[in-house]
Amino acid sequence: MTDAANLTRKTITVGSGPLAREIAIVHRAALKKKSGPTFVWLGGYRSDMAGTKAVELDALAGELGLAAIRFDYSGHGVSGGAFRDGTISRWLEEAIAVLDDIKPKRVILVGSSMGGWITLRLVQELRKRKKAAKVDGIVLIAPAPDFTVELIEPNLTEVERQSLAERGYFEERSEYSPEPNIYTRDLIEDGRRNLVMTGIIETGCPVHILQGMKDPDVPYAHALKLVEFLPADDVVLTLIRDGDHRLSRPQDIEKLKVAVSALILND
């Protein structure tokens, strides 16, 4: 059942005073008497919940009669807040707030690109709580944990460093939008406070990573490195020889569906 009848669109306020922002959520309810995990979509940098992968994940949940949650970070999609105010800590706070609002008992987290970083940080925060959603499994698509430190800072040009020092941000041409990517000093400094690839990452659940080998943004060597930090988990890494960063082609979407469905079967 994939019709819109099961979908609820809502907004929640995260933060207070000048830090308050409205976060848009789309929640698909599970079919009655259907037990199983809730799919939670965690998007990438400058992506939104109306993207191909997010919509296809929601449709899969509908086909299986399961619940699904999509939302836009502040400064993304239809949520409020300024994009330039965004940091990993801020977007992580919003992800936690969404789960606190909907209160799923069990979840499968699906993180794309930067959403992979937020997914791993989210798991760390959930594991600190006595009452929190149980994470049944994780799917990471072209994951970019620690990307500010691992992928951006080492490659900064002198002009970009000067722009960060003088203006507090630098711009970079985007392959996916006419608008340039903007990376702020706050994002980079906050990234150092949210690093996950500094020791063993314990998720306590199966992890499936999908990574394109022709990804121009997150080299597949980064996914290989991430696997080394997940020695305690059952990890499957699927390298897609001709895959790009988005992994939104029909054949890529099929791999995503198979990965998510396998986690349900393992439940």
pLDDT per residue over 167-200, tens digit each? Answer: 999 998 888 788 889 999 999 999 999 999 999 9
* Model pLDDT, residue 54: 98
- The closest alpha carbon to 148, from 170, 174, 166, belongs to 170
25-80 pLDDT, tens digit each: 999 999 977 789 999 999 999 999 999 999 999 999 999 999 999 999 999 999 99
* pLDDT given at position 199: 96
Rounded CA separation 166/51 (Å): 34
d(CA 208, CA 260): 8
> Per CATH, is 4-144+204-265 categorized as 1.10.10.60?
no
pLDDT score of 1: 39
Percentage of residues in the chain having pLDDT higher than 90: 90
Looking at residue 32, its pLDDT comes to 76
The least confident of 29-33, 106-110, 113-117, 234-238 is 29-33
Counting every residue, how long is the chain?
267
Specify the 3-state DSSP secondary structure of 155. Answer: helix
Q: Decide: helix, strand or coil at residue 176.
A: coil
DSSP class of residue 29 equals: P
What number is the average pLDDT over the span 139-151? 98
pLDDT in tens, 197-221: 999 999 999 999 999 999 999 999 9
Distance of CA 159 to the CA centre of its chain: 30
Task: Report the pLDDT value the prediction gives residue 267, as an integer from 0 to 100.
Answer: 56
pTM: 0.95
142: left (phi over 0), alpha (psi -120 to 50) or beta: left
What's the pLDDT score for residue 33? 72
Q: Give the model's confidence band at 2: pLDDT under 50 very low, under 70 low, under 90 confident, else very high.
A: very low
Question: Where do we find the tokens 């965690």?
Answer: 42
Domain spans of the chain? Answer: 4-144+204-265
Beta-strand (E) ranges in the chain?
7-14, 21-28, 38-42, 68-71, 106-112, 134-141, 169-172, 181-184, 207-212, 235-240
pLDDT above 70 as % of the chain: 97
The mean pLDDT value of the chain amounts to 95
